[in-house]
Amino acid sequence: MREVICLRYLSAVQKNIQGESDMVYINKGVNRKGQTFTSDFFVSAIIFMFILNISYITWNSAQDVTAEFESDNMQKKIFYITDMLTRTPGYPYGWNSTDVELIGLSDSSNMINSSKLDELQNMSYYNMTFLWGITDYEFNLTVSGDYTYKTFGKDIDHDARHITHIERVVLIDYGNGAIDKGYLKYTLWKM
């Protein structure tokens, strides 16, 4: 095809040189089906990048909202659990590790009963998470004072996605008139 166009062109040029007035029509356009102009490509690329950028921003915003919701939810749970532990005797009132329905460690506000700590130590990890309503989370509870140090739950995983910590000052009643100042530290996290 190209050879034919070239020969026709040469023939037309020769006629022009000889003074003949044939018009020379050259098909400069090549068959452009399936080809993209550079401007079309750049416009498409800009639109694609814009949509990709909007998608990225939307995804990150959704992740931030989810993380904030999770953090707020964990804060509520940890405040509720530590309030229940430090301000209520639990249910039933003289509960033990086999019949407990609501875990409370205090006989009066912020005074921890050491015998209830002993009963708590006899409970399974799963039973504690079930009663506290935190089966989707991991926890660590530490009660420490001058004469006691008890820890419950798992070791704290500092690489967790979401982690919340609270520390409360409490009094620990040993039942023989001895009272000790201590700390109740509760950490909740989600992998």
Whether the predicted pLDDT of 24 surpasses 60: no
Rounded Cα distance between 152 and 124, Å, is 9
Report how far apart, in Å, the C-alpha atoms of 70 and of each of 79, 81, 107, 137, 145 are: 14, 16, 32, 11, 32
**Phi, psi dihedrals of residue 135, rounded to the nearest 5°:** -65, -20
- Break the chain into its structural domains and give their ranges: 69-190
Q: Measure the CA–CA gap between 186 and 19, rounded to whole angstroms.
A: 104
CA distance 21 to 134: 96
For residue 52, give the amino acid letter: L
Q: For all residues of the chain together, what is the average pLDDT?
A: 81
Half-sphere exposure of 83 (CA within 13 A, CB side): 6
Task: Give the model's pLDDT for residue 169.
Answer: 92
pLDDT tens for 74-103 read: 899 999 999 999 999 999 988 988 999 999
Distant-in-sequence, close-in-space partners of 45: CB < 8 Å, separation ≥ 6: none
CA 17 to chain centre: 81
> Band of the pLDDT at 29, cuts 50, 70, 90?
low
- Is 150:143 a contact under the CB 8 Å cutoff? yes
What predicted TM-score, i.e. pTM, was given to this entire model?
Answer: 0.66
CA distance 129 to 185: 16
What integer pLDDT is reported at residue 20 of this predicted model? 53
pLDDT digits (tens, 9 = 90+) for 43-85: 888 899 989 888 888 887 777 777 787 888 889 999 999 999 9
- Residue-wise pLDDT for 123-182, tens only, equals 999 999 999 999 889 999 999 988 888 999 999 888 888 889 999 999 998 888 888 899
